Amino acid sequence: MDLYPLFNSLRIAIIATIIIFFIGIFAAYYIAKLPGIIKGVLDVILTLPLVLPPTVVGYLLLMLLGPRRPMGILINELFGIRMVMTWWSGIFASVVVAFPLMYRTARGAFESFDENLAYAGKTLGLSNSYIFWFVRMPYCAKSMMAGIVLAFARALGEYGATSMVAGYTPGKTATISTTVYQLWRTNDETGAGVWVLINIAISAVFLLMINNSEKKNKYVKS
């Protein structure tokens, strides 16, 4: 059994989740401070991939990064890097599709943060960076972990956008989701079923992590 789809899916999901984590928390932190109208507009833009069909997201990425598009041509000429139909193309798709989950979770956590703790830190002479990483983030750690797990699970199972920008090439761009489709399409239901079970098992583990995190939260609060 070729395990490349599992390796590639985990690689894409891990890298995408790391990118999503940092972009998500900083976007959530600064946007939460903006005036209502601006915040509302940015919320719509950043959350849109969550409600758009993944194939639409994939199409928009192709329009942006395709080999005949200005950005795709520029990057290829400057760095010799092809932005679509490679394994790392799946990272772009996963980041865009899973980002709203981290962003919304982080924003909710920051909005529930007790600002008196930040004010107290400032009176002690602590810098904003120190307060952010060592006061605000630990306070919101449980919610952040839930956002990370959700983003990872979404990136791991991404199919629509990934299939459009990365395609399916065995040993090169294949992921669990695209492999399931290709095996089903070629009437290999047994092979497809094996990968479905693997995906279910991995997703179940991460959902259990979320449930355990929520239970610990309730226990601490009580």
Q: Give the model's pLDDT for residue 103.
A: 94
- pLDDT value of residue 95: 94
pLDDT (tens place) for every residue of the chain, 222 residues total: 788 999 999 999 999 999 999 999 999 999 888 887 888 899 899 999 988 998 999 999 999 888 888 888 888 888 888 888 999 899 999 999 999 999 999 998 998 888 888 899 888 888 888 989 999 998 888 888 889 988 998 999 889 899 999 989 999 999 999 999 999 999 999 999 999 999 889 888 877 877 776 666 554 454
pLDDT the model gives residue 106: 93
**R_g of the chain, CA atoms, integer Å:** 20
Alpha-carbon gap, residue 203 to 30, rounded angstroms:
31
Note every long-range contact of 108-111, with CB atoms under 8 Å and residues 24 or more positions apart, other chains counting.
108/143, 109/28, 109/140, 109/143, 109/144, 109/147, 110/28, 110/29, 110/32, 110/136, 110/140, 111/32
Distance from the first to the final alpha carbon of the chain: 48
What is the number of other CB atoms lying within 10 angstroms of the CB of residue 113?
17
Q: Which two tokens stand for residue 140?
A: 């919101």
What distances in angstroms separate CA 24 from CA 66, 96, 104, 135, one per listed residue? 25, 11, 8, 18
